[in-house]
Amino acid sequence: MKAASRRLGRILAGTLLVVAAAAGAAPFSDSMAQRVLACTGCHGPQGRAAADGYYPRLAGKPAGYLFNQLLNFRDGRRPYRLMSELLAPLDDAYLKAIAEHFAGLELPYPAPAGAALPDDRLRTAVRLVRRGDPARSLPACASCHGEAMTGIAPFVPGLLGLPPDYLNAQLGAWRAGKRQAQAPDCMAAIARALAPDEIAALSSWLAAQPVPQPARAAAAFATPPPIPCGGVAESAAPPAATGR
């Protein structure tokens, strides 16, 4: 009798599991992952291409960088209405918690999708990434984004694992003043100094690089950053304007 009821219990439990799986719904959990479904709906777990552009991956990016971007969208330095409106009612403490949630996710990167570059473009890209161009006061990308180009915690993002169109769009937006960061806006100065064909070469090269697994950001700058960046120096303190 006891054994029979245990078996019945197992069958019932099994049926329930099957029903839950068929419904495909993750049960509600009082968690950050549940709270930020508003983000992952567009960004997906690893970034997602949509009809209106590319929603970059959030998982594993440095927390300070993500927090700065959330502030930049909410406070109008990065103009994208959908993001600005979504974040408008959220305070600094919550945005920080959201940034830390995504920074803590470790998900594998897909294989790079980039095509092979012609030799001259390849040389241009590698030169800019590794050495920069001292004649134009252009620092090497790697001097801030890390030797492995996987970023430097907590403020500098990695540049690998992103599609070339997204990288082109960001550098273009910085050149045109459509994307801004806290002053001094180092990336705006760098993007303005780069020629369009250099931007294209960099984007293609970056997108073609395999991403090391795990793609962790370096813990700290090995040498001080070559140029001052508002997003790196002062962003630990949220701007006074919008805290409540």
Positions in the binding site for other proteins (CB under 8 A): 25-26, 28, 30, 32, 34-42, 50-52, 74-77, 81-82, 84-91, 93-94, 97, 239-242, 244
Give the nearest distance from C-beta 24 to other proteins in angstroms: 8
Q: In which residue are the tokens 């403490």 written?
A: 93
**Rg of the chain's alpha carbons, rounded to an integer?**
22
Closest contact distance (angstroms) between CB of 94 and other proteins is: 4
**In whole angstroms, what is the distance from residue 100 CA to residue 243 CA?**
18
Cβ-proximal residues to 14 (8 Å cutoff; 6+ apart), any chain: none
Which one, 22 or 113, has the nearer CB to other proteins?
22
Smallest separation (angstroms) from other proteins to the CB of 126: 36
Nearer to other proteins, 6 or 178 (CB): 178
The DSSP 8-state label assigned to residue 91 in this structure reads -
State in angstroms the smallest separation of the CB of 114 from other proteins. Answer: 25
- CA dihedral 133→136→139→140, nearest 10 degrees, is -20
CA quadruple 44, 49, 51, 54: dihedral positive or negative?
positive
Q: Which is nearer to other proteins, 168 or 242 (CB)?
A: 242
Token pair, residue 182, equals 């806290």
- Give whichever of 43 and 61 is closer to other proteins, judged by the CB atom: 43
Distance in Å, CB of 31 to other proteins, minimum: 10
Question: Cβ closer to other proteins: 76 or 210?
Answer: 76
- Residue 48, SS3? strand
